[in-house]
Amino acid sequence: MKTYGLVGTSGTGKSYQAISLANEKDISCIIDDGLFIKGAGIIAGTSAKRESTKLSAVRRAIFMDPDHAAKVREAIREEDPPAILILATSVSMIERITQNLHLPAVEEIIPIEDVASESEISWARKQRVEQGKHIIPVPTFQVRKDFSGFFIDPLRIFRIGKGKKIEALEKTVVRPTYSYFGRFFIADYVIEAMTGHTAKNTAGVHRIQKCAVQSQDEGISIELDIEVVYGLPIHLIMKEIQENVMIEVGYATDLNILAVDVTARKVIVLKERENLTRINLK
């Protein structure tokens, strides 16, 4: 197994450049901020960007936790990649990572200045300092579960590959809590209010009886009891509520919504049927 290192100070765009560099050197796997990444997927590890302080983020990134290091070592052993690219802020950090993961010594150290221009590095630093943006070199759907409640955005990059074909690379922008002056919380009753508002604006819903939110590390589950108006297909009303809540509440909060369980508890017969709003339900 060959080991390479990409070195640059914090916020110089290492994670942004990692995929392109790995493709150029035919490196299939990347170690970045506590994660073992292969291709477009996270194989093992926990991201340092989830930590609440910079100190705990550094400890996570260099695999100081024995359980964390053991799981990643086992994943590397099973994948047995021909080469690994390690991202770090210094050569000494790379040495700590190789020691904790029992990897061979690095064969080549690549400074960030060799793969990124001065303007790219300047742009990356500005994004980090002014907006607290960090990059994870995998698609957003891969990290949404682990970063539920964080501010995350997809970043699509188009480039010309080796076969002169345009390739689309997706990376994820995250804003860890330690990038800000304080922490933020979204109370359950706020989510319940948004869910109830979204459901109430669905055609065929007469009233919201109950809305409850269950929070978990990987996301939230929402339970909703409703009263429906007689005259429209109940199963289509509930399906539309599920879809609308997933879209509206998910967009507004950036939370990973695990499930939206809707129960129709009562059917209401309106006296004036002409007042029933009709739309084309999916």
Mean pLDDT of 116-128: 83
- Boundaries of domain holding 196: 188-275
Measured CA to CA, the distance from residue 114 to residue 25 in angstroms comes to 14
Which residues, listed in sequence order, are joined to residue 217 by a DSSP beta bridge? none
Quick check: 198 pLDDT over 80? yes
Residue at 268 is within a domain: yes
Question: Position of tokens 């990356």?
Answer: 124
The total number of structural domains in the chain stands at: 2
User: Can you give the pLDDT at residue 168?
Assistant: 46
Q: Are residues 209 and 102 in the same domain?
A: no
pLDDT in tens, 1-39: 899 999 998 888 888 888 888 888 889 899 998 999 888
Question: Does residue 281 fall inside a structural domain?
Answer: no
Per-residue confidence (pLDDT) for residue 49, from 0 to 100: 78
- pLDDT tens-digit readout, 135-191: 777 666 556 666 655 555 555 554 444 554 434 455 566 666 655 555 566 788 888
Residue 167 and residue 68 share a domain? yes
282 domain residue, yes or no: no
Nearest 5°: the CA angle 212, 210, 267 is 140
The per-residue pLDDT for range 230-268, each reduced to its tens digit, is 988 999 999 999 999 988 888 787 777 889 999 999 999
**Do 88 and 200 fall into the same domain?**
no
Q: What are phi and psi of 174, to 5 degrees?
A: -125, 155
Is 196 found in the same domain as 130?
A: no
Q: Are residues 166 and 38 in the same domain?
A: yes
For position 208, which CATH number holds? 3.30.70.1350
Please, are residues 91 and 7 in contact by the beta-carbon 8 Å criterion? Answer: yes
Domain edge (last residue) among 152, 179, 206? 179
Domain shared by 160 and 192, yes or no: no
Does 202 map to a domain?
yes
Domain shared by 175 and 54, yes or no: yes
Shared-domain flag, residues 117 and 210: no
Does residue 101 share a domain with residue 30?
yes
Strand order in the sheet with 2-7: 41-45, 35-38, 29-32, 83-88, 2-7, 108-111
Whether 280 is in a domain gets the answer no
Specify if 83 maps to a domain. yes
Residue 258 within a domain: yes
Considering the domain architecture, whether residues 103 and 209 belong to the same structural domain is answered as: no
- Of 123, 149, 179, the residue at which a domain comes to its end is 179
Chain CA centroid to CA 66, Å:
24
Same domain? 204 vs 135: no
Give the per-residue pLDDT at 155: 55
**CA dist., res. 207 & res. 4, Å (int):** 60
Residue 243 lies in a domain: yes
Shared domain for 94 and 221, answered yes or no, is no
Judged against a pLDDT cut of 80, whether residue 107 lies above it is answered with: yes
* Residue finishing a domain among 156, 179, 202: 179
Instruction: Give Cβ neighbours of residue 36 (< 8 Å, ≥ 6 apart).
Output: 29, 30, 42, 43, 44, 45, 72, 75, 76
